[in-house]
Amino acid sequence: MTDTRTTTGLDAIAAMFDRAKAEGRSAFLPYVPVGYPDYESSLDAVEALAALDVDGFEIGMPFSDPLADGPTIQEATQIALENGTTIRSCLEAVRALRSKGLQQPMLMMGYLNPMLAYGTEAFVHDVKAAGADGLIIPDLPPEEAHLFAESCAREGLALIFFLAPTSNEERIKLVAERASGFIYVVSVTGVTGARRDLPPDLVDYINRLRAHTDVPLVMGFGISTPDHARQVNKLLDGFIVASALIRASKQGIDPMRELAASIRQAIEPGG
Amino acid sequence: MISQIPYGSADVPDSRGYFGEFGGRFVPETLVPALDELTVAYREAMADPAFQNSLLDLQRTYTGRPTPITFAARLTEKLGGARIYLKREDLAHTGAHKINNALGQALLAQRMGKQRVVAETGAGQHGVASATASALLGLDCHVYMGSVDMARQQPNVFRMKLLGAEVIPVESGTKTLKDAINEAIRDWVTNVRETFYLLGSALGPHPYPMIVRDFQSVIGIEARQQMLDDVGRLPDVCIACVGGGSNAIGLFHAFREDEQVDLIGVEAGGHGVLSGEHAARFADPSMGRPGVLQGTRSYVLQNADGQIMNTHSVSAGLDYASVGPEHAYLRQTERAFYTLATDEEALEAFQTLCKLEGIIPALESSHAVAEVIKRAPTMPKDSIMLVNLSGRGDKDLGTVMKELKLEI
């Protein structure tokens, strides 16, 4: 059994936001790096999180030189590479999760070069075939997106672009025009990593983006605690938690599950 | 003797930063506005005679430009072929060509009102040049350097500290130049609003490969005129070592339209291509393929999965998994040719130049000299080779003593 869902990736992602909105909250998308701490454990982590009714997943594919990532994800990807994790094994993980009945959208996150080595057409085809719903490529700005845009559109996959606090009106308009699925909103200037506080001017920042687009906005970088989740809840259509979960998972799957559960609880109405 | 630094005269890169199919801008979105801002500021600066004059004045009164060309009489005699001329970038202030670009970019940082400068360094020459330019202009300089490189280039670490720079050891990855660039980019993405990234080679996202080339092009502009003035004609061959490729592109650029002049870049062959321990991006088709690393599309040493390979060279400045995109373009269009020299050949060339010419070359530059030693004997006696002696070798004495098992 493989992917039993009948919708395209884009539809599945849209349905994810619709459901969260109907429940009066943001969508919660945890990041799980395949192959960390080992292949089986990363699959277990996705299943444990799915059981908490998270809304979707960012599935991390390792790269030797992750220049948008801070120390936590750097270390995790290094370990994943030492464990022999490749694009193929990441897609195999997605296929295995779908065959176990996982329903949530999954977006493949990775850097460009391994995808180029795989072949962009073949990669997009195999991502779709494995049952994933979109691509997140931090070193692919919209100017270079022609490498993937056509094949993603053909396969119904979302190709996610980023906006950052440094993005000016021109950039916001460009990304809004080309966006599919959602826009990944970087919370701060910086690399990924758990942080103590979210930036104070969050509302102004999001309003600035909202003025130009009604594409769903998903925030990442630094969202680490239930309190952060409460701050971004409803302000954004969704949020990604990565480094904080990886840090927690160093102590085992239970602390990771507990953190995720407390974040999930925090965005429930009245949570 | 140089009236203006060229800008906008070359047909590459295009407006998106492409040299043919190489180059471009593959960076996180956070950096895109900063690169746009840099592109505009650079264009305005180069069109401003006051900026040009500041840089030309510093080149003359501070760097000591023009650097001379030296006829290597004894080396020529020993090899028995082409007449060999050395472009003496080792005589530039700080001992290498890196100062040409560092001064240009530091002036640009100052003009843009960016007080904080970050830089990466491999051999330490770019770090020293950045620290020097920052001291001169009163900028706050932070240099990322792999801990492996810090160990093998200790004198340069000390120099940077004396010059007031903070040297930040990089412990990630292979702890060499590539990892230092990753960390410098991470710093830049974090502090982008007040920070200028002073990139040291003809690498990285657009506009850096163009900016570095333009600021280094003074090497070839001077050398070309010096050949005409002193020797009466252009050389038959220009040779330079290629790590990221800034000294080579700086030499080659002025000769690009002189079709009779062969341009030859020399990569680091390390322990030999078959050993897998090298930094010869063009010479090893099993590992060196087009790809994207650190913001630019070029030849990259990578495994079948697209993961970046570890590299090896006895010279830290050539020990890098990718190469400047314009070199990939010059190779593809067959305007330039690329070969390699092994560690052993470079060390041999190092000693030869010391003994025959009284010049201690950098180990990087020794790779170019190694190609001269191979090629000169095959050429007629009335032919001329011009080699870029990109830096001096004082920084490498520890490495050479260790490699040759010498004691004082």
Q: Which residues lie closer than 8 Å to B196 by C-beta, 6 or more apart?
A: B105, B108, B109, B112, B114, B116, B117, B118, B139
Both B190 and B144 in one domain: the answer is yes
In the predicted structure, residue B293 carries a pLDDT above the cut 80: yes
CA A166 distance to own-chain centroid: 21
Q: Which residues lie closer than 8 Å to B35 by C-beta, 6 or more apart?
A: B25, B27, B205, B206, B207
Q: Does A118 touch chain B (CB under 8 A)?
A: yes
- Band (A167; pLDDT cuts 50, 70, 90): very high
Buried-exposed string B287-311: b where 16+ CB fall within 10 A, e elsewhere:
bbbbbbbbbbbbbbbbeebbbbbeb
Both B272 and B356 in one domain: the answer is yes
Q: Look up tokens 């983006």; give the residue.
A: A209
Q: Does A107 touch chain B (CB under 8 A)?
A: no
Strands (E) in B66-188, as ranges, are 69-71, 83-88, 116-121, 140-146, 166-170
Nearest one of A228, A232, A230, A265 to A243, comparing CA atoms: A228
Does the annotation count A170 as an active-site position?
no
In the predicted structure, residue A231 carries a pLDDT above the cut 90: yes
Considering chain A, what is the average pLDDT of its residues?
A: 96
Both B225 and B348 in one domain: the answer is yes
Q: Which of A86, A140, A161 lies at the smallest CB-CB distance from B305?
A: A86
Buried-exposed string A54-80: b where 16+ CB fall within 10 A, e elsewhere:
bbbbbbbbbbbbbbbbbebbbbbbbbb
Q: What is the domain count for chain B?
A: 2
B198-224 residue pLDDT tens:
999 999 999 999 999 999 999 999 999
B225-232 average pLDDT score? 98
B245-264 residue pLDDT tens:
999 999 999 999 999 999 99
In the predicted structure, residue B182 carries a pLDDT above the cut 90: yes
Both B48 and B72 in one domain: the answer is no
Closest residue in A to B309 (Cα) is A64
Strands (E) in B222-316, as ranges, are 237-241, 262-270, 288-293, 296-301
Q: Which of A162, A168, A189 lies at the smallest CB-CB distance from B192?
A: A189
- Our CA-based measurement puts residue A162 at a distance from the nearest CA of chain B, in whole angstroms, of 6
Task: Confirm whether B359 is domain-assigned.
Answer: yes
**How are beta strands A217-220 and A183-186 bridged, if at all?**
parallel
Domain ranges across chain A: 9-266
Residue range of the domain that includes B121: 20-62+98-213
Question: pTM (2 decimals)?
Answer: 0.97
Q: Are A157 and A128 in contact (CB under 8 A)?
A: yes
Q: Are B239 and B371 in contact (CB under 8 A)?
A: yes
3-state secondary structure of B130: helix
Q: Which CATH architecture has domain A9-266?
A: Alpha-Beta Barrel (3.20)
Chain B CB contacts of A35 under 8 Å are none
Nearest one of B203, B174, B178 to B298, comparing CA atoms: B203
- Our CA-based measurement puts residue B28 at a distance from the nearest CA of chain A, in whole angstroms, of 5
Task: Confirm whether B4 is domain-assigned.
Answer: no
Chain A CB contacts of B300 under 8 Å are 113
B350-367 residue pLDDT tens:
999 999 999 999 999 999
Closest residue in B to A86 (Cα) is B305
Task: Give residue B1's pLDDT.
Answer: 45
Q: How far apart are CA A111 and CA A135, in angstroms?
A: 10
Task: Give residue B123's pLDDT.
Answer: 86
A55-72 residue pLDDT tens:
999 999 999 999 999 999
More confident residue, B249 or A7: B249
Share above pLDDT 70 across residues of chain B, in percent, rounded to a whole number: 99
Task: Give residue A1's pLDDT.
Answer: 47
- Band (B406; pLDDT cuts 50, 70, 90): confident
Q: Please spell the DSSP secondary structure of B340-404, one letter per residue.
A: EEEHHHHHHHHHHHHHHHS--B-HHHHHHHHHHHHHGGGS-TT-EEEEEE-BBSGGGHHHHHHHT
- Band (B2; pLDDT cuts 50, 70, 90): low
* Terminal-to-terminal C-alpha distance of chain B: 43
Task: Confirm whether B15 is domain-assigned.
Answer: no
In the predicted structure, residue B341 carries a pLDDT above the cut 80: yes
Both B47 and B138 in one domain: the answer is yes
Q: Which of A63, A113, A167 lies at the smallest CB-CB distance from B29?
A: A167
CA contacts within 13 A on the Cβ side of B178 = 24
Considering chain B, what is the average pLDDT of its residues?
A: 96
Residue ranges of alpha helices (H) inside A23-166 are 39-51, 71-82, 87-99, 112-118, 120-130, 146-155
Closest residue in B to A117 (Cα) is B306
Q: Choosing from A3, A55, A58, A237, which is the catalytic residue?
A: A58
B369-384 residue pLDDT tens:
999 999 999 999 999 9
Both B187 and B234 in one domain: the answer is no
Chain B CB contacts of A140 under 8 Å are 26
Q: How far apart are CA A183 and CA A206, in angstroms?
A: 12
Task: Give residue A130's pLDDT.
Answer: 98
Residue ending a domain, choose from B213, B233, B257: B213
Task: Confirm whether B360 is domain-assigned.
Answer: yes
Task: Confirm whether B1 is domain-assigned.
Answer: no
Task: Confirm whether B408 is domain-assigned.
Answer: no
Both B141 and B78 in one domain: the answer is no
Nearest one of B251, B250, B316, B249 to B279, comparing CA atoms: B316
Q: Please spell the DSSP secondary structure of A144-188, one letter per residue.
A: GTHHHHHHHHHHT-EEEEEE-TT--HHHHHHHHHH--S-EEEESS
Chain A CB contacts of B26 under 8 Å are 112, 139-141, 144
Residue ending a domain, choose from B197, B213, B229: B213
Q: H-helix or E-strand containing B58? A: helix B49-58
Q: How far apart are CA A35 and CA A44, in angstroms?
A: 11
Q: How far apart are CA B241 and CA B239, in angstroms?
A: 7
Residue ending a domain, choose from B213, B234, B266: B213
Choice among B120-124, B266-270, B326-330 with the minimum mean pLDDT: B120-124
Q: Does A103 touch chain B (CB under 8 A)?
A: no
Q: Which of A117, A164, A165 lies at the smallest CB-CB distance from B291?
A: A117
Both B182 and B282 in one domain: the answer is no
Task: Confirm whether B7 is domain-assigned.
Answer: no
- Our CA-based measurement puts residue B77 at a distance from the nearest CA of chain A, in whole angstroms, of 48
| Angle CA B221–B204–B346, to nearest 5 | 65
Both B121 and B142 in one domain: the answer is yes
Chains A & B: contacts with CB separation below 8 Å: 108
Both B86 and B117 in one domain: the answer is no
B149: domain CATH number?
3.40.50.1100
Does the annotation count B161 as an active-site position?
no
Closest residue in B to A160 (Cα) is B29
Task: Confirm whether B13 is domain-assigned.
Answer: no
Q: How far apart are CA B259 and CA B250, in angstroms?
A: 17
Q: How far apart are CA B233 and CA B386, in angstroms?
A: 12
Both B71 and B115 in one domain: the answer is no
Q: Which of B30, B173, B178 lies at the smallest CB-CB distance from A186?
A: B30
- Band (B5; pLDDT cuts 50, 70, 90): confident
Both B160 and B228 in one domain: the answer is no
